[in-house]
């Protein structure tokens, strides 16, 4: 592959990452402020706001991204929000603090970790395609290298299958030879006893 093929333009997604990260930060900040104001002025409103943020935020903000950096930022932001909302719930309306803690654990933290993975999340869908870095030459080089490595891996696995088959055949041949020798020895022992 020539250098010019590595240099072909690719869609730059670094701006997309920054916008999504900013969206997560602003959403979380606004949610914290709205929840604090709700608890200070009308405690049941704080509970409702916190529950709505956890409910709608997960579907549209916190859990919408597969990239590790954005998932980590989402987890940190959600943890901060959940902590503030739960503490305020305990301070202003104690039963709501317990309810919010249970809701956040059920709705939030379990969905970030392994216990919230669905069968579709766990299912192996083959090799993952790395996200573009923004440097099209490097991305093309990396893709080509990964493709070659995948081919080498497949060739090595095929070699291991052939090697195991040859080893099995050799062990089986040794077994048959040992058995034939044992049968021959047993046969000669039987002739001597008569």
pLDDT digits (tens, 9 = 90+) for 68-126: 777 777 778 878 888 888 888 888 888 888 888 888 777 666 655 544 444 444 444 55
Q: Tell me what pLDDT residue 190 has.
A: 60
Helices (H) and strands (E) in the chain, counts: 8, 0
Q: Tell me what pLDDT residue 164 has.
A: 92
pTM of structure = 0.47
C-alpha distances in angstroms, 48 versus 9, 40, 42? 48, 13, 10
Q: Flag the least confident range among 13-22, 31-40, 64-73, 116-125.
A: 116-125
3-state percent helix, strand, coil for the chain, nearest multiple of 5: 85, 0, 15
For the chain, give the percent of residues with pLDDT over 90. Answer: 22
Q: What is the CA radius of gyration of the chain?
A: 31
For the chain, give the percent of residues with pLDDT over 70. Answer: 72
Q: Tell me what pLDDT residue 173 has.
A: 94
Q: Tell me what pLDDT residue 145 has.
A: 93
pLDDT for 6 beyond 50: no
What is the dihedral angle through the alpha carbons of 98, 101, 102, 107, rounded to the nearest 10 degrees? Answer: 150
pLDDT for 194 beyond 90: no
Q: Which two tokens stand for residue 92?
A: 């202003």
Question: Which residue did the predictor score with more confidence, 74 or 175?
Answer: 175
């Amino acid at each position: 592959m020539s250098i010019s093929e590595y240099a072909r333009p690719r869609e730059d997604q670094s701006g997309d990452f920054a916008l999504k990260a900013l969206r997560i930060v602003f959403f979380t900040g606004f949610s914290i402020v709205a929840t604090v104001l709700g608890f200070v002025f009308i405690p049941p409103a704080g509970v409702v706001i916190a529950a709505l943020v956890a409910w709608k935020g997960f579907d549209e903000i916190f859990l919408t991204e597969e990239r590790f950096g954005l998932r980590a930022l989402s987890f940190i932001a959600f943890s901060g929000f959940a902590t503030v909302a739960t503490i305020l719930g305990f301070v202003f309306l104690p039963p709501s603090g317990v309810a919010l803690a249970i809701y956040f654990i059920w709705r939030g933290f379990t969905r970030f970790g392994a216990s919230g993975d669905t069968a579709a999340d766990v299912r192996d869908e083959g090799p993952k395609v790395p996200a573009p870095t923004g440097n099209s030459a490097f991305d093309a080089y990396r893709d080509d290298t990964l493709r070659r490595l995948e081919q080498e891996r497949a060739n090595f696995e095929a070699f291991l299958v052939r090697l195991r088959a040859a080893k099995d055949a050799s062990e089986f041949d040794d077994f048959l030879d040992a058995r034939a020798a044992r049968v021959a020895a047993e046969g000669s022992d039987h002739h001597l006893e008569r």
